[in-house]
């Protein structure tokens, strides 16, 4: 699944398109939905999920969302942690080279 994201500054909104590849090089796109918010007043009240997808589609949806978000500069926590670890290792190796005079 491919997810396209577009920022619309004039509307102060972000638009999302969910696009799925089909056999024969066809693509299908999800119909627009309206996200309706409601207050949850009773803590014992059963709350239905906002969106439910079959497992295979859910995995593809999440992978597509990660790619689309990363394309817009949003990092997952694990990627941010990994990047921080690599930067720290690079600084550490630089320090070792300086200490050992291996420039």
- For the chain, report the end-to-end CA distance as a whole number of angstroms: 47
Tokens of 86: 């690599």
Predicted TM-score (pTM) of this structure:
0.61
pLDDT tens across 69-97, in order? 888 888 777 666 666 777 777 776 777 77
Give burial (CB, 10 Å; 0-12/13-18/19+) of 64.
middle
- Could you write out the DSSP letters of every residue in 47-98? ---S----HHHHHHHHHHHHHHHHHTT---HHHHHHHHHHHHHHHHHHHHHH
pLDDT tens across 51-61, in order? 898 898 899 99
- Coil vs helix vs strand at 25: helix
């Amino acid at each position: 699944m491919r997810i396209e994201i577009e920022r619309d500054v004039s509307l102060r909104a972000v638009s999302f398109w969910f696009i799925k590849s089909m056999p024969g090089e066809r693509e299908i796109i999800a119909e627009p939905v309206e996200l309706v918010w409601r207050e949850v007043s009773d803590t014992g009240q059963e709350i239905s999920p906002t969106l439910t997808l079959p497992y295979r589609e859910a995995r593809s949806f999440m992978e597509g969302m990660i790619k689309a978000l990363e394309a817009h500069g949003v990092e997952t926590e694990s990627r941010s942690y990994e990047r921080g670890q690599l930067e720290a290792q690079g600084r550490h190796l630089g320090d070792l080279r300086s200490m050992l005079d291996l420039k």
